Amino acid sequence: MRIRLILAAALVAALPAAFAQGPAPASSPAKKELVQKILGFQQAGVEVLARQLVEAPAARLLQQAGPALQQRVAADKREAVAQEIQADVKKYVDESVPIVRERALKLMPVTIGPLLEEKFSEDELKQIVAVLESPAYRKFNQLGNEMQRALGEKLVAETRATIEPKMQSLQQSVAKRLGVAPAASSASAPKKK
């Protein structure tokens, strides 16, 4: 899935230059069919892209809200307000991701499609489809989450002893700067995904 997302991002990044050159010559029906197959494989990447586009500004907003929460909300109400903010952010994400995903799926054929038709020969498109349809590639793609989880678990295990004291020191430093008592060491090592 990451490879598809990288491909989609590279194609989107190349769009301005591609359209600045003017319209592409007419494409054969076979070439158009190959492009549609490739776009079909990109749909999973669209979900990831839509989620990232929606969640990034929400994450920045949460970061900005943290200091304001500490400064403007009474200590006894902070947890409740923080939970309300989290609920608002969740609602925003839940409502916005489907909108962005749907729009991206509608834009793919008219943005990425022409770019693929212009930049790749029919033979190159056949090669791309062959790779995307390959059982080995599909199997590799399906292992993506499992590989990431295995690496994450091993990474946490091997870095915990080094990172945990650094995180505790950071927590103490931040608490001191905010003038609050440091929390119990609940957020210690890097979390598994």
Please report the pLDDT score of residue 44 as a whole number. Answer: 81
- Residue pLDDT, tens place only, 10-30: 444 444 444 444 444 567 899
Residue 185 clears pLDDT 60, i.e. is over it: no
Under the banding of pLDDT at 50, 70 and 90, the label for residue 131 is very high
Query: Alpha-carbon distance 118 to 125, whole Å?
Result: 11
Range of 8-12, 121-125, 159-163 with top mean pLDDT: 121-125
pLDDT score of 85 more than 70: yes
